[in-house]
Amino acid sequence: MLSKAVIVGAYQRKLEELARLPGVELVALTPPLWRDSRGETRLERAYTAGYELRAIPIALNGHFHTHFYPRLSQALADARPDLVHVDEEPYNLATWQALRWAAGRRRPALFFTWQNLLRRYPPPFAWIERYSYRHSAHAIAGNQEARQVLLAKGYARPITVIPQFGIDPQLFDRHAQPPLVAPSPAHRLTVGYAGGLVPEKGVEDLLHALAIGQEMAGAGPAWRLLLAGGGAQQPALEQLAVQLGLGAQVRFVGRISSTDMPAFFASIDVLALPSRTTPAWKEQFGRVLVEAMACQTPVIGSDSGEIPHVIGDAGLIFPEGDRQALAGCLLRLAGDAALRAELGQRGRSRVLAHFTQERIAAATYQVYQQMLAVSTPGQPLSETP
């Protein structure tokens, strides 16, 4: 498996679950760190039992579509895989690297895609995408809209819809760790956000909604806000909080390691994910939602992309960009402790039913079995018509 995502420690639980399944010998290749608009994430070796996690050099770090691995061919040759799982979009250079290696050795390969917007890419990305379509045996789509995009673009191989990673319910338990931030009786509700401090995540809308809701509530500070994460928008958000009169109620707690996130969810009463669709992006899953739900923390999400399908009946949904509606959701939960408890219980039940690492690993294993059943290592794959 080639995956830059598994530098995140909590995500590695899926690999442990995969490695426990019959006949699986797993080697995961990942960079030593990854940089993007949220900052730098270094490899966390948190869950490494039963498989081998190898860090290999990466070039053009931080460039989602053009990064590549100078020593990938040797790393794959050393691993001697029967099947290659590429945890990257089909139009990425790293995907082309791995699929080209697999095709040259007649090894079945798959790619993963979150892309839920139908977009046409210029060369060389369009060429890479076409190559990936021709030389993969299977595709895993992270959501139903991503599957529809593949079909609209003419992908003719089997497609299975599976989220990229699930949740370890033992780690993501509200009582697994003490709260990261001590509760304060002076505030009626502690609202949390976790993720990138970037415009498309809608944190600006959340601040405005809190100000609107506080004015509607009438008396004293209605809540405090804890913001976990980093990104280029943080200085502007800090300034906006002061302008809205929320400076004393908003706390930026910085980036938190994946395995410490349960302590963050134990610190808040509600999680909000107010993502906003842009011409180039809409929410592809919203992993922080299932993490919070697993911790019995009620969630509020916008209707951007996959969010409503992830939340189901376990939280509140509002129209993206509608600050008044978001304020209404916050006020509703602030005044109804019984509803918060009910949504918390529904959320954990939903995660246990659909989003555990064990379930995600089992579904992925089924894909592997399908691929190997129709493609014997060493034999050529049939060409896509």
What are the structural domains of the chain? 5-164+357-374 (3.40.50.2000), 189-354 (3.40.50.2000)
Residues 296, 344: contact at Cβ < 8 Å?
yes
Task: Specify the pLDDT at position 177.
Answer: 86
pTM reported for the whole predicted model: 0.89
Task: Specify the pLDDT at position 382.
Answer: 40
The residue assigned the tokens 């809205």 is 244
Residues 134, 384: contact at Cβ < 8 Å?
yes
Average pLDDT for 118-131: 96
Average pLDDT for 61-66: 95
Average pLDDT for 98-127: 96
Residues 307, 301: contact at Cβ < 8 Å?
yes
| Average of per-residue pLDDT values in the chain | 93
Longest dimension (CA), the chain: 73
